[in-house]
């Protein structure tokens, strides 16, 4: 089954970036959509950039708890 995720765009070829084992970013022109391994969008809306991105990655933050003694 084919899914239309965004319009065909201006002229750039689409870019696919694998962010992790379960998530990819699909970009065309200034629009990016994030999909899971099944091709389903992981966010409600398309991310729109002011310019075409040249690189993309995903960062996971861990919560660090610091105990101090006074």
Query: Per DSSP, what are the bridge partners of residue 17?
Result: 25
Reply yes or no on whether the pLDDT at 1 is more than 80: no
Between 45 and 68, residue with greater pLDDT: 45
Mean pLDDT rounded to a whole number for the chain: 76
Q: Where are the domains of the chain?
A: 1-52
Instruction: Please report the pLDDT score of residue 30 as a whole number.
Output: 86
Tell me what pLDDT residue 4 has: 62
| Separation of alpha carbons 6 and 8, rounded Å | 7
- What's the half-sphere exposure (Cβ side, CA atoms, 13 Å) at 26? 19
**What are the pLDDT digits (tens) for 4-28?**
665 655 656 788 888 888 889 888 8
Q: What is the pTM of this model?
A: 0.62
């Amino acid at each position: 089954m084919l899914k239309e995720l965004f319009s065909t765009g201006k002229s750039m070829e689409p870019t696919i970036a694998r962010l992790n084992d379960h998530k990819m970013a699909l970009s065309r022109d200034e629009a990016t959509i994030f999909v899971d391994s099944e091709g389903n969008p992981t966010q409600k809306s398309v991310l729109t950039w002011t310019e075409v991105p040249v690189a993309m990655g995903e960062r996971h933050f861990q919560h660090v708890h610091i105990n101090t003694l006074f």
